[in-house]
Structure 1
Amino acid sequence: MIDAYNELGNLSLVPDLAGPLRIGVAEGFAVACMATLISQIRQSFPLLRPEWVVATSAGLEQSLSADDLDLAILVDPIGLKNVRLFALGLQGNDWAAAAFLAPTVGASPQDLARFPIITTPPGTAMYRATFGWMAEGKITPENVCVCSSLNAALQLVAAGLGIGVFPSKVIESYPLADALVKLPIKAKLDDGRVFVADNAASDEMRTRALVAVVEQTSDILGYFW
């Protein structure tokens, strides 16, 4: 019991973070939160020198497991060996379409499957959310456009070249006002589970200090449900 008490006491100490730190951010979270996150980290740890990597959660989790990153913000991680997870919250997801296309799309999996589906590669959170929702309607979409970048997929959907699933806050923060809209689908998409993750051999005190900054950022932006 004494050891457990001492461990809790140690975790309550905020380390003085300085120097380089390799931080990965899932693309969806980055689109909506990156600027505020960078500002909050600078305020909390002015001597820290983050080296940012923005990519899909699947790729970031692989990099963490291989010790190529120190920390990452992940959505729906697979749970790879050596990756330690710290839960942040639930991220809403929505189907999106260009505003001029949306009235013609419909609301069921059968309706949406008539249009090109734009998503990220198999294994990514966006791909799993897309095909999981379609599967509930016993639909396997045939016209699928796979983009390695969520941001590129977002641009294609906004241009009216197809429809896709994105974090709700990403759709809301799209820079061209009213160009991209949420589709009023019949069956709700599953929420994404967002985590801060590190390598299990990393300094847990350091990670928890950064988790607190990420939580502060998400609170400022109202990112989670």
Structure 2
Amino acid sequence: MRRLTLPQIEAFYWTVTLGSVQKAADKIGLSQPALSLRLKEFELGVGAPVFERSHRKMTPNRRGLDMIKRAREILDAVDGLGGSAAQSVAGVVKVGFAEGFALACLPQIIERLHSRYSDVHPELTIATSSSMEPALEDGRIDLAFLVEPREVEGFTYVYLGLQPTAWVASSAAASAYASPVTPNGLARDRVISNQPGTIGYGQVIRWFASEGLQPAHLDICSSVAIQAKLIEAGTGIGILPTKMIEPELEAGRLKILDTFPPVQPVAIFLVHREEALTPASKALVECVTDTLGETGYLL
């Protein structure tokens, strides 16, 4: 079970491959101290040392040698499989996306996938992260892009970045709130949230609990997209991913509330079993990470 970032994996791979921290730092474009910090973070994520250290060099230990192939596979998924390889990649990928992430990014991801890998066919599951975790664990989906997943033995967790979220209201409703809005100021208003057990529900409850409160009027909705529509119609307020509602914000139909405390962003992870990803799965991961870089969806 690992909870690692792509930069940490890259630092580990190039240090082992090039046989030198300095050479790896030059390859990646970092200072040596910065790369050394990434290596320490990598070992913390793994939960054990992966290098034998001496005054002059770092060499991978048995655990490090066992991990180098897996690191290369992950980097291949991000960096791309190359033109000739792309033509031969085919297959079905059963993949899950957290709904807010999917609403903002999925059209671009699928367009990129079809353009690069015409014979890779996704079977999409769109739901809350908590509802997709059982499907991932029992093999109904191959991989998933989840918000704050719980850790389960036998799975790899690759940190992708932070998804910004905020309290949101319709433009008409937002004008009634003085800035900053506090839990006490919203406690008697109607709040729309995902169901209990979801990340969104937890964000709402924790925010009010920061002042020892609970929302007096809490409506539950299983769909983030419908939550946004209900909030836009003025039926309540809620916490939403801000990138998901950019069109509504730009059009002035929704507004972000200035709140104290601020709503904390949530982490997005790629989650899959520890076995190697298939070429088709790697192709999809490549298209997701390229889309994330292009859109700036994550912090």
TM-score, normalised relative to structure 1: 0.90
Q: Greater shift after overlay, 133-142 or 8-17?
A: 8-17
- Shift of residue 199, structure 1, vs aligned partner: 2.8
1:23 paired to 2:99: no
Structure 2 CA distance for partners of 1:184 and 1:19, relative to 1, 3 Å: same
* Distance across 1 between alignment mates of 2:108 and 2:260: 34
Gaps of 5+ in 2: 1-59
CA offset digits 1:159-205 (Å, max 9, x no partner): 10100000111121338821111111121111110011123345377
Report the secondary structure of 1:134's partner residue: helix
Higher relative contact order (CA 8 A, sep 6+): 1
CA offset digits 1:3-55 (Å, max 9, x no partner): 55555555555375312111111110011111111112223322101011111
1:185 paired to 2:253: no
- Shift of residue 137, structure 1, vs aligned partner: 1.8
Structure 2 CA distance for partners of 1:9 and 1:121, relative to 1, 3 Å: closer
| Aligned partners of 2:174 and 2:255 also within 8 Å | yes
CA offset digits 1:87-118 (Å, max 9, x no partner): 11011111000100012134001111221110
* Distance across 2 between alignment mates of 1:68 and 1:127: 25
| Aligned partners of 2:93 and 2:142 also within 8 Å | yes
Q: Could you say which residue in structure 1 is the equivalent of 2:17?
A: none
Q: Could you say which residue in structure 2 is the equivalent of 1:93?
A: 165
Structure 2 CA distance for partners of 1:6 and 1:217, relative to 1, 3 Å: closer
1:39 paired to 2:111: yes
Q: Greater shift after overlay, 107-116 or 211-220?
A: 211-220
- Shift of residue 151, structure 1, vs aligned partner: 1.0
Q: Which letter maps to 2:271?
A: A
Q: Select 2:271's aligned residue among 190, 197, 205.
A: 197
Structure 2 CA distance for partners of 1:12 and 1:132, relative to 1, 3 Å: closer
| Aligned partners of 1:93 and 1:166 also within 8 Å | yes
Q: Could you say which residue in structure 1 is the equivalent of 2:189?
A: 115
Structure 2 CA distance for partners of 1:12 and 1:206, relative to 1, 3 Å: farther
* Distance across 1 between alignment mates of 2:278 and 2:143: 11
TM-score, normalised relative to structure 2: 0.69
Divergent runs of 4+, >6 A:
none
1:78 paired to 2:167: no
Q: Which letter maps to 1:86?
A: V
- If each structure's helix is expressed as a fraction of its own residues, which one has the higher value? 2
Gaps of 5+ in 1: none
1:148 paired to 2:208: no
| Aligned partners of 2:194 and 2:222 also within 8 Å | yes
Q: Could you say which residue in structure 1 is the equivalent of 2:6?
A: none
- Shift of residue 211, structure 1, vs aligned partner: 3.1
Q: How many matched pairs?
A: 225
Structure 2 CA distance for partners of 1:44 and 1:116, relative to 1, 3 Å: same
Report the secondary structure of 2:121's partner residue: strand
Equivalences for 1:49-64 in 2 at 5 Å? 49-64=121-136
Q: Could you say which residue in structure 2 is the equivalent of 1:124?
A: 198
